[in-house]
Homo-oligomer: A and B are copies of this chain.
Amino acid sequence: MTLTADAGTTTLDLGPARALTCRECGHQIPLAAEFACAECFGPLEVAYEFGNITRAQIEAGPKSIWRYRNLLPVPSDVDAHPNTEPGLTRLVKTDRLAAALGVKSLWVKDDTGNPTHSFKDRVVGVALAAARQLGFRVLACPSTGNLANAVAAAAARAGWQSVVLIPSSLERAKVLTTAVYDGALIAVDGNYDDVNRLATELAAEHEDWAFVNVNVRPYYAEGSKTLGFEVAEQLGWRLPDQVVVPVASGSQLTKVDKGFRELIELGLVDAKEYRVFGAQATGCSPVAAAFKAGHDVVTPVKPDTIARSLAIGAPADGPYVLDVVRRTNGAVENVSDEEVVEGIRLLARTEGIFAETAGGVTVATAKKLIETGQLDPDAETVLLITGDGLKTLDAVEDKIGPRATVPPSSEAVRAALAD
């Protein structure tokens, strides 16, 4: 299982990162390109020794995730290397959406503003920085969309080779927005599970290929903490009462929670009890099912939903999602594909933000959590919108269009508007 790349004789500088620790058995190993515990096969996570970190220090940093470099497994000069400079996206006060949902104080973290328009730029940015230190020279991933875009763009910007594996059935738009960066984009005859297995096989065979979500996953995953950091900083260095996070592998939700806890531990925000909620599409809701059944394990499902970026039937971090939502008095809820489309449209109509299907899942789930009394409408709430509607136009295609088609006369326009 060891996939350590040749780091040469250079000293490994991953900033405050000190070791990898198994989340299951606690076994610790030195920093390396490993992702599974040699003792128990549990997932490895980055362990840190943070120095003294102040708000002023962070605020004086770059206008990207690198302002949090002292909280990430990256070298202190990370922003000196060419990268896509993701992060510090808008946190928008969404009063019209709040009114529509019947909540008092609502914010949307709008990650559509990232370089390739999804939160994946954050995790790929951290993966690339760590991969450089670990001695890799090729950036790779299996993906069905957002991750493919982010990896191909980040590699292009850094001057690295990329190898991106996609199912050959992928929509042409997602293929084009990856292919344009001119890395090695390989279409694989098979479904996403086939592509994933192939990636793990290739990672084992190619010591210089950093598969961001496979052999450098512990570093990659830490990038999602920056969503939590930014929410807190943008609220004026305080935590919200409640946060709703979409769940695919579950990694993002657990890392937002980890980010919040680190800020408390470091004294950067006041300690408080916050609640973390997970959002899934019913067509791929294994974590919601486990939560509702009171189970600790997550039973895999075969995904069938329009929310393809969340369609992971066997979510690696599912059990940890359950831990977080139970510890914080949150919940995991799920919504139908129809509700997903309504969620996209509600957010667009009220706030001018066009989210991809995953964002529709988040908005619709928030609605359901409020209606079922699980989410407190009087508590300050943040919704994470992690990807862009331009990439999933097919989801809304049949539902929307011009109000009317008219001849070029002002009378005709007025008649159309009066209808």
Chain B residues with CB under 8 Å of A158's CB are 352
A58 interface residue (CB < 8 Å to B):
no
A156 interface residue (CB < 8 Å to B):
yes
Over the window 84-105 of chain A, the binary record of Cβ atoms lying under 8 Å from chain B Cβ atoms (1 yes, 0 no) is 1100101011011000000000
The winner among A202, A345, A389, A406 for most chain B CB atoms within 10 A is A406
Of all chain B residues, the one with the shortest Cβ separation from A96 is: B159
**Min CB–CB distance A292 → chain B (angstroms):** 32
A379 interface residue (CB < 8 Å to B):
no
Chain B residues with CB under 8 Å of A404's CB are 186-187
Identify the stretch in A1-9, A109-117, A303-311, A361-369 within 8 Å (CB) of chain B at 4 or more residues: A109-117
Cα A285 to Cα B63 in complex, Å, equals 37
Let me know if B153 and A201 touch, CB within 8 A: no
Q: Which of B163, B396, B407 contacts A176 (CB 8 A)?
A: B396
Contacts known (A348-B181, A401-B175); A187 close to B406, Cβ less than 8 A: yes
Let me know if B165 and A413 touch, CB within 8 A: yes
Q: Which of B156, B176, B348, B416 contacts A182 (CB 8 A)?
A: B348
A293 interface residue (CB < 8 Å to B):
no
The winner among A63, A154, A348 for most chain B CB atoms within 10 A is A348
**Min CB–CB distance A163 → chain B (angstroms):** 7
Cα A393 to Cα B117 in complex, Å, equals 15
Chain A residues numbered 177-197 whose CB sits less than 8 Å from any CB in chain B: 177, 179-182, 184-190, 194-195, 197
Q: Which of B166, B173, B407 contacts A188 (CB 8 A)?
A: B407
A372 interface residue (CB < 8 Å to B):
no
Cα A110 to Cα B117 in complex, Å, equals 13
Cα A175 to Cα B201 in complex, Å, equals 43
* Interface bracket on A: 35 or more
Q: Which of B90, B93, B194, B352 contacts A154 (CB 8 A)?
A: B352
Chain B residues with CB under 8 Å of A92's CB are 85
Chain B residues with CB under 8 Å of A405's CB are 168, 186-189
Chain B residues with CB under 8 Å of A407's CB are 188-190
**Min CB–CB distance A130 → chain B (angstroms):** 18
A40 interface residue (CB < 8 Å to B):
no
A61 interface residue (CB < 8 Å to B):
no
Chain B residues with CB under 8 Å of A152's CB are 352
Let me know if A181 and B85 touch, CB within 8 A: no
Chain B residues with CB under 8 Å of A85's CB are 90, 92
Let me know if B403 and A176 touch, CB within 8 A: no
**Min CB–CB distance A415 → chain B (angstroms):** 10
Chain B residues with CB under 8 Å of A402's CB are 166, 168, 175, 179, 185-187
A391 interface residue (CB < 8 Å to B):
yes
Of all chain B residues, the one with the shortest Cβ separation from A88 is: B63
Of all chain B residues, the one with the shortest Cβ separation from A400 is: B179
Cα A401 to Cα B166 in complex, Å, equals 12
Q: Which 9 A-B pairs have the closest CB atoms?
A: A157-B352, A153-B352, A156-B352, A187-B402, A182-B349, A187-B405, A190-B408, A179-B400, A194-B408
